[in-house]
């Protein structure tokens, strides 16, 4: 039900934002991309926050279940951050006259993406699940420092990128549609996180050899998989 709800919400709010809302008086039709671009960025940061929390909990409890949550979060975060940069470039071309500018917001977001792509690469270097989880947790915690840097970049440095919308604009039609997209993408994020976490747990069980002769996954301590 959560998956169907997420699909319905994302479809409805995306169609609303991209096709049904009026054109912006200043930016014209291109402003519609913001209804997807901004919630996508939000979902990416929410995913990386989940990685941070799961990484801390893993180091405290040494429970591989939290490493599965972290892996789920980082893959969603990398995907959403990459799509944020792509959508931002599509918006920048007609607005700034250039596909890419070494603007503080864009540059810091690109660095954020590189950090978490590195997270995935480091995971591939270790065969032992415990060692892999420790290395990944360290990067998941330290790498999260870049998230507030991305958010604050428009305040700390002179930037072409527009700052967050004001409360007055959020009360307008633009704000209503944008907030609806935030809600839809948040629901979609939680659905994707749960699905990917379950798959990560199954992958770990297969790696540990906890598979019966009929292909069912047997109980493995610490990752929360039993007979899936």
147 in any annotated domain: yes
How much is the pLDDT for 212? Answer: 42
* Nearest to 142, CA basis, from 105, 115, 120, 117: 115
19: which residues sit within 8 A by CB, 6+ positions away? 32
| Each residue's pLDDT tens digit, 80-109 | 999 999 999 998 888 888 888 888 999 999
Determine which of 117-121, 152-156, 163-167 has the lowest per-residue pLDDT on average: 163-167
| Each residue's pLDDT tens digit, 204-218 | 888 776 544 344 444
The total of structural domains in the chain comes to: 1
Type and span of the H or E element at 152? helix 146-156
CA dihedral 182, 183, 189, 194 (to 10 degrees): 170
| Structural domain boundaries, residue 22 | 2-207
* Nearest to 144, CA basis, from 61, 63, 81, 213: 81
pTM, two decimals, is 0.85
224 in any annotated domain: no
215 in any annotated domain: no
Residue 159 has pLDDT above 80, yes or no: no
Give residue 170's pLDDT band: very low, low, confident or very high (50, 70, 90). Answer: low
The end-to-end CA distance of the chain, in Å, is: 19
226 in any annotated domain: no
Residue 27 has pLDDT above 80, yes or no: no
203 in any annotated domain: yes
42 in any annotated domain: yes
33 in any annotated domain: yes
48 in any annotated domain: yes
Q: How many whole angstroms from its chain centre is CA 118? A: 15
Give residue 166's pLDDT band: very low, low, confident or very high (50, 70, 90). Answer: low
How much is the pLDDT for 174? Answer: 77
């Amino acid at each position: 039900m959560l998956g169907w709800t997420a699909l319905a919400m994302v479809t409805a709010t995306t169609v609303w934002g991209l096709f049904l809302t009026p054109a912006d008086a200043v930016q014209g039709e291109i402003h519609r991309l913001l209804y997807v671009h901004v919630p996508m960025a939000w979902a990416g940061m929410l995913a990386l926050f989940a990685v941070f929390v799961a990484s801390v909990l893993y180091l405290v409890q040494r429970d591989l279940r939290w490493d599965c949550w972290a892996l789920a979060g980082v893959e969603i975060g990398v995907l959403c951050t990459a799509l944020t940069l792509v959508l931002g470039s599509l918006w920048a071309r007609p607005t700034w006259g250039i596909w890419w500018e070494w603007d503080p917001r864009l540059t810091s977001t690109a660095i954020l993406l590189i950090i978490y792509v590195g997270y995935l690469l480091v995971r591939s270097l270790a065969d032992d699940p415990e060692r892999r989880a420790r290395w990944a947790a360290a990067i998941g915690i330290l790498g999260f420092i870049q998230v507030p840097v991305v958010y604050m970049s428009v305040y700390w440095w002179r930037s072409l990128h527009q700052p967050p919308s004001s409360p007055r604009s959020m009360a307008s039609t633009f704000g209503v549609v944008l907030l609806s997209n935030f809600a839809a993408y948040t629901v979609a994020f939680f659905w994707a996180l749960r699905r990917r976490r379950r798959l990560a747990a199954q992958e770990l069980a297969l790696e540990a050899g906890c598979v019966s002769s009929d292909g069912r996954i047997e109980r493995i301590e610490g990752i929360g998989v039993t007979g899936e």
